[in-house]
Each structure stands twice: as structure tokens, then as C-alpha cells.
Amino acid sequence: MSTYRPLHDGWTLTAVSEDVRIAGVAATVPGCVHTDLLAAGLIEDPYLDDNENRLTWIGRTRWSYATAFTWTADGHDRTDLVCEGLDTVATVILNGVQVATTANQHRSYRFAVRHLLREGDNTLTVLFDSPYAYAESQRAVLGDRPGAYGEPYPFIRKMACNFGWDWGPTLVTSGIWRPIGLESWSGARPASVRPSVGGDGRVEVHVTVERATDVPLTLTAEVAGVSAETELAPGEREAVLTLTVPEPRLWWPRGYGAQDRYELAVRLGDGTGQGTPEETWTGRIGFRDVRLDRTGEGFTVVVNGVPVFVRGANWIPDDCFPARVTRERLAGRFGQAAGANVNLLRVWGGGLYESEDFYDLADELGLLIWQDFPFACAAYPEEEPFAAEVAAEARENVTRLSWHPSLVLWCGNNENIEGHADWGWQAELDGRTWGAGFYYDLLPRVVAELDPTRPYWPGSPYSGHPDLAPNDPARGTVHIWDVWNREDYTRYGAYRPRFVAEFGFQGPPAHATLRGAVSGELAADAPLVLHHQKAADGNVKLLRGLGEHLPQPAGFDDWHYLTQLNQARAVAFGIERFRSLAPHCAGTIVWQLNDCWPVTSWSAVDGRGRRKPLWYALRRVYADRLLTVQDGAVAVVNDGPEPWAGELELLRLGLGGELLAKERTAVEVAPRSVARIPLPASVAVPADPASELLVARLGDQRTVSFFAEDTRVVFPEAVHDAHAEVVEGGYRVTVTARALLRDLALFPDRLDPEAWVDDMLLTLLPGESAVFHVATRRQLDPAALVSSPVLRCVNEVRP
């Protein structure tokens, strides 16, 4: 049996530079230079104020990580140095001897080092070259490539968004970012185990063995009481074991069934009968089929024969320093995704292949995963050394992840095909490579060989063929960015897409998050607030995006509430439109679920993990059942497993709640379908659009729709009774409307940064009440809890 010894203790960090005098700093492994310097008090928090601007030297400096350890012969034949993640351009030195050089953050490495180890004291050093110097040298050799940003990220196999994005800071890291240690073993070890799992109970277990001796070996695989065994003759290194589990319980996406998994055990033993201890690999597999239905140029994810309407969100790295992202943190973020009724996360191509915990949690919760290969928003060189690096990282990660049932799609890149077709790249490239060989040849070949159970899609947006315009809403996947960049969000209503893989609208983070990131004045145009807005003209677009929907803010508190609210409304408007088009439209993936630092962005959960109003809007519009008014009709969306039947009640009311017209009609909507109920003229046509509203109600679902934009509605003064009382775990806040209250919201983080509320964005008719539960461990001022700027609604804002 092998033994593993982590080498995570005793590391020191030193700058290998005449210009930077830093030496012998205590280092945390796994980690990175930034977090080590921060812990040592040598730099200020990169996420605070504009400190980021003063830290660019870190990415332009060479660094040395060094440690010493004792070693004693352990009776095994082999000892390997296992490096699960080196970021990025590294030279590994053991006892003064160079072991290897690496240049890919997306790979792991294993080096045979038994011959270099000494009895007693040993030293291990990992030298990291400057990521900038490496990338810029490759660019000089291969020729520049166009991209969305001027940084050289296409020329290094590293998390692209490290070099800055329109939501992220430029913090170019180096370090031992995943575990490192020594593994000793004898005889043979399973070098890779790749289960290929379908929905019919059949498992093909592909095993590659590394040998230290050429004795016969026995391989055994077992799952659900079914086993298979094979012999490996001396010199043989590969085998396939096939098992069939009769009538397996299937793994389903959340909302479609249970997430049943089975433990698969693969054992490698000495076939000589001498009782050599076994090596065992285990993993929890799930039986399920997945395919893409392209009928009519569409893009429908089908799991176990059932079409799934994707209610998705894009995922970016949850921290600029990924070693800080723990399983607990991922579980919290995944809980927020599930709580917002999200059923798919798209791992975006400017980030990483995520950790084992990430995919295991997705399996556990039934969250589908769309996995981009890490290429984004640039032309990428296909020459060496990149061709070999991309092939190696793809083979490793497809093998590593292929048995996770949550993973339903491999995608070649983010927006690179669109960039080549539509962003003027071809003239700039002048015939140089741009990544086509990866997306149309290498990556699909790797997936076809190593993971034939899943579909591959060359990129997003993509229309299904290289000769077609890539961002055509009528085909494949589309990204919609004219909204936000140029158009009012009602533009979503003009689209009839097959699948929307990116769209979104910005809003600032929670007040407590912004306050914690900015030590100076909180004003929309304050320099430090603007530093936490990375989008070009982002704050201009925020205000322009209010349009006629909402009044222009009079001060920071209004700006914060109204722009957050407008973000929620814009995204909700798009999702309601696209869901009403099902099954023609088969899914939406909002940009984005999360942030990597405190910033004004498109996220629903901000960089400190706080829910923005958008999160509450997503929970409503991504629910199984949705009522939405679309094009003179009520779309009754039923994405649940049971029929939705009842009496649809339609009310045209005055703003004071007086009934002006009423209609009722019986409806029954089959599971996973949409019914459109035309609005009778009596309720569809207002006598005075500025003074009336429409209410649609079916069972416990209700939607309130206005005939005019809020800036034209003659809202009454916001009059209400509100009180807060202490309950277990926090406060219960009850608000009773004495007049119409539009989009009532509660922001308890203004009083306690750790406080959060269970609901918001409620429109109350006169006489109606709402109860909010505020979770907090602190004693709060009840009066402040029910007063502005904690308690807000639209019609308290006066132009």
C-alpha cells in the first residue's frame, strides 16, 4: 500500500530580484505570493481601495519557495514528488538538483525522485519565473494575437482572469496553489482510473498502471455488488473492466429526481499470490445519459431521455487566489445557487478546471455543470509549446472529471469563435493561428476518446457549424450583450433565441461589501468606488440603464438601491421572456452567479458572498412555476413534474386597490410546458395607464404588472406600518401597506454586515402585509430596521 506525506510545512518565500528585497517570509502552501505577502504585513489588502494598482510588481518578479524536511527510507520501491498545482512557470529543485520545469497552471505533475532523496535532511525549492516575462517572451516569438484586453494571457496556460477582466482586478499570481507531497509505492500503482458511465447500468473502467516491477497484476472493480476482474501480464499497463448493474437507480438533475450515486472501487493487487497490499481507487459514480437535441438548430440538454430547461448561471473563480476557496465556501455558494432555483452552472473559460470538491458538491446537489475549456475572449496560438500543453491538460482533466454525473457538456471556449468572426480579428491575425485547431480538432478528439458519454460543443456563442454566423439567436447558443452595452433591457423582448448562454445586467454589491472595500467616501462617482467598477463606462451604463424604468437617484443611497433594483428587473425581464418561449428556447445561463472580489458587476451574489436583489429575483423567475405577462397574454410556465391546474384570476386595479375589471378562466398546464392565455380586453386595456395595474393570480402564484413605466406611474405616497420584533435567530419585520408599495426591500447589512433577509422585492397592494425574517447574531435598532435606507420601496423615491 502506498504512503503519502504532504509537504506543506516550513516553507519560506523569497524574491529572486535585485529590485525587490523580500526574503525568508513564512509561506502557506497551498497558497500564492499575494496571500503570503499579505499575511506577513508586507502588502495591503489587494481587495481594499485601489491597492491593486500598487501590486503589479508581484507578477513581474521571480519568486522562490523553499522548505526543508527529513526523510527516512520507507521500504517502498519508488517515491514520487506529486505537485497537484504549480502556478505557473516553475522550476522544481530537490537537494540542489533540477527535477523539472513546468508552465501550466491547469496541470498536475508527478516526478520520480527516490534517487535524489537523502536519509535525514532534504531541501525542496520551487522557483517561479515572472508570468508576465514568460507570456511576453512567447508573444514576441509567436506574434501578437487580438483579444478583449491588452494583457498577454493567451500566451501562458494560466487562469486568464488573473490578468484582469471587466469585473476582476489585475492580480497576477505565482505559487504552489494546490497540494504538494511525496508518495511512496511498490510494485505498481493505478496511474489513472477513468470510469465511463451511462444510464443503462454499464460501466467501463479504463485503468492505466505504472509499474516498478514486471510481476503479474490483478485488477478488480466493484460497484453495487457487481464485480469484474482481469489479469495484467508482465509488462501490460492498460486494461478495461466492464460491469453492468441491473436496473440502477438513475442520477437526475435537481428538480427532476434523486441524485443517486454508487461507490465504485478499483483495486490493483500483486498477481503472484504473495499477499502484496492492494492499491485502491474509489469514486462515487452516477448512472445517467446526456445528449444534446439539435432538432431545428436548437440546443436542448436531454438527461435520461428527458429534456431539461436550463435555469443556469455562469460561474467564475470565486477568489482571485483560488487556494482560499474551501469546500465549505463552495458549499455555501452552491447552496445559494440551489436556493435561487439554478439547475446548471457554466464553468466559464477564463477561469479554471475547478477542484474535486466543486464537482462532488455538484453531483451531490444535482447541479448540472457545463465545463468550458480554459480559453476566453482572445486568439490563442496553436504552436509549441502550447499545442502540447493544451493536449496534456485536456487529457488530464477530461480523465479526471469524466465520471462525475453532474458534468453534462464540454465546451471548447468562450467567445473566441465569435471574436474571430465578428470582432475584426482576421485582419489583425494576418494568417496566424487563433485556436481553431483546438476547438474543431484537438479538443473534440480528446473528448471523443476519453469521454464519449458526453456532448462536446466547440464554443459559445456558436451556431453549430464553422461557416455559420456564431451568434445567431436562431441557432445553437447565443450571448446577448447589446442589452447592457447599448440597448434598454426591454430589447430582450425582441429576441426569440434557442438557448441563451450569456446575458446580464450590472448592479453594485451589497452596502456592507462596498463599505468594507472602500475606506473613503461612498459616492457613485468617488474614485475608490469607481476603482471597484471594472467595466468600460460601467457607471454611465448603470444610470443610462435606469431609462424610464426608475427615477434618477438623488444621492448615494438612492443610487445604490435603484441600480441594484434595475439589475434585478432587467435580468428578470429577460428570463421571463425566454422561459415563456419554451421549448423553442431551451435554457438561459445568466451572467453571473458569483464574484471573485468586492466589485460592481453582473453577479447575483457579491464578492463577499452577500445576496444582491438579483438573487431574490432569480429565485422567483427560476422557480418551477412562473406567471409572466408577455405580448398581450399571460404565460403560465410549469417546469415542475406535476400538472398545474386551477382558476387564473385577472384583475385590473386602480393604484388604490379599487377593482376596475375582473376575469377568470380555468387553466391546466402539463408538466414541463408553457400555456399562453390571451388577456381579455377588459383587463388588458387600461383607461389610464399611469394609474392602473394588472394582477394575475393562479393558486399561490401572483404577478403584478404595470401599464406604464415607474417614472410615469402616479404612485401614491409610500405609507405603511412597520415593526420589528426579536425572534430566535434574529428579527421578524412586519410591513403592512396603507398605500401601494412598489418593490419593497430590506437591507439589514447596513446595520450588521453579517445580517441577511429571507425575501425582498415585494409589491404590496393597500392593506396587504409582508413578513421578513432577518438573520443576525447582533442586537439591532428596531427603529432603524424599519426606516430608510434599510427599508426601501420605489415610491418613496421622489424626483
Query: Do 8 and 46 fall into the same domain?
Result: yes
Query: Do 637 and 546 fall into the same domain?
Result: no
Instruction: Return the percentage of the chain with pLDDT > 70, whole number.
Output: 99
Helix ranges (H only) for 689-747 are none
**d(C-alpha 223, C-alpha 137), whole Å:** 50
Query: Do 671 and 613 fall into the same domain?
Result: no
pLDDT of residue 583: 97
pLDDT of residue 18: 87
Of the candidates 63, 93, 326, the residue with the CA atom closest to the CA atom of residue 172: 63
Residue 770 has pLDDT above 70, yes or no: yes
pLDDT mean over 384-411 = 98
Residue 276 pLDDT class (50, 70, 90 cuts)? low
Mind listing the pLDDT tens digit for each residue in 412-452?
999 999 999 999 999 999 999 999 999 999 999 999 999 99
Mind listing the pLDDT tens digit for each residue in 481-491?
999 999 999 99
Helix ranges (H only) for 588-707 are 613-621, 681-684
- The enclosing domain of 671 has a CATH number of 2.60.40.10
Specify if 398 maps to a domain. no
Specify if 439 maps to a domain. no
Residue 797 has pLDDT above 90, yes or no: no
Helix ranges (H only) for 641-776 are 681-684
**d(C-alpha 581, C-alpha 680), whole Å:** 21
pLDDT of residue 799: 61
pLDDT mean over 784-799 = 91
Specify if 424 maps to a domain. no
Torsion sign across C-alpha atoms 36, 39, 43, 45 = positive
**Whole-model pTM over 0.95:** yes
Query: Do 177 and 201 fall into the same domain?
Result: no
Query: Do 507 and 362 fall into the same domain?
Result: yes
Specify if 399 maps to a domain. no
Torsion over CA of 340, 343, 348 and 353, rounded to 10 degrees?
110
- The enclosing domain of 24 has a CATH number of 2.60.120.260
pLDDT of residue 798: 66
Query: Do 571 and 478 fall into the same domain?
Result: yes
Residue 309 has pLDDT above 80, yes or no: yes
For residue 145, the tally of other CB atoms under 10 A from its CB is 20
Residue 270 pLDDT class (50, 70, 90 cuts)? confident
Residue 275 has pLDDT above 60, yes or no: no
- The enclosing domain of 766 has a CATH number of 2.60.40
Query: Do 70 and 214 fall into the same domain?
Result: no
Mind listing the pLDDT tens digit for each residue in 598-634?
999 999 999 999 999 999 999 999 999 999 999 999 9
Q: How many domains does the chain have?
A: 5
Mind listing the pLDDT tens digit for each residue in 495-546?
999 999 999 999 999 999 999 999 999 999 999 999 999 999 999 999 999 9
- Domain of 702 in residue numbering reads as 628-706
Residue 647 has pLDDT above 60, yes or no: yes
List the grid coordinates of 152: 498577454
Q: Tell me which of 156, 182, 208 is where a domain ends.
A: 182
Kindly give the pairing relationship between strand 344-347 and strand 310-315: parallel
Query: Do 499 and 582 fall into the same domain?
Result: yes
pLDDT of residue 67: 98
Phi-psi region of 326 (alpha: psi -120 to 50; beta: other; left: phi over 0): beta
Specify if 164 maps to a domain. yes
Specify if 162 maps to a domain. yes
Query: Do 79 and 13 fall into the same domain?
Result: yes
Specify if 431 maps to a domain. no
pLDDT mean over 322-341 = 98
Contacts of 719 (CB under 8 A, 6+ apart): 737, 738, 739
Backbone angles phi, psi at 276, to 5 degrees: -65, 135
- The enclosing domain of 532 has a CATH number of 3.20.20.80
Q: Tell me which of 560, 595, 622 is where a domain ends.
A: 622
Specify if 466 maps to a domain. no
Instruction: Return the percentage of the chain with pLDDT > 90, whole number.
Output: 97
**d(C-alpha 564, C-alpha 578), whole Å:** 22
**d(C-alpha 246, C-alpha 145), whole Å:** 53
- Which SS3 state, helix, strand or coil, does residue 366 take? coil
Helix (H) or strand (E) holding 386: helix 386-401
Residue 695 has pLDDT above 60, yes or no: yes
- Which SS3 state, helix, strand or coil, does residue 734 take? strand
Query: Do 35 and 157 fall into the same domain?
Result: yes
Q: Residues 92, 40: contact at Cβ < 8 Å?
A: no
**d(C-alpha 755, C-alpha 762), whole Å:** 19
Angle (CA) 195-295-359 rounded to 5° is 30
Residue 273 has pLDDT above 80, yes or no: no
Query: Do 87 and 15 fall into the same domain?
Result: yes
The angle that helices 556-580 and 538-546 make with each other, rounded to 10 degrees, is: 70
Phi-psi region of 476 (alpha: psi -120 to 50; beta: other; left: phi over 0): left
Number of continuous H segments (helices) and E segments (strands) in the chain: 17, 44
pLDDT mean over 741-755 = 98
Helix (H) or strand (E) holding 564: helix 556-580
Residue 462 pLDDT class (50, 70, 90 cuts)? very high
Q: Tell me which of 644, 679, 706 is where a domain ends.
A: 706
Query: Do 163 and 238 fall into the same domain?
Result: no
pLDDT of residue 271: 72
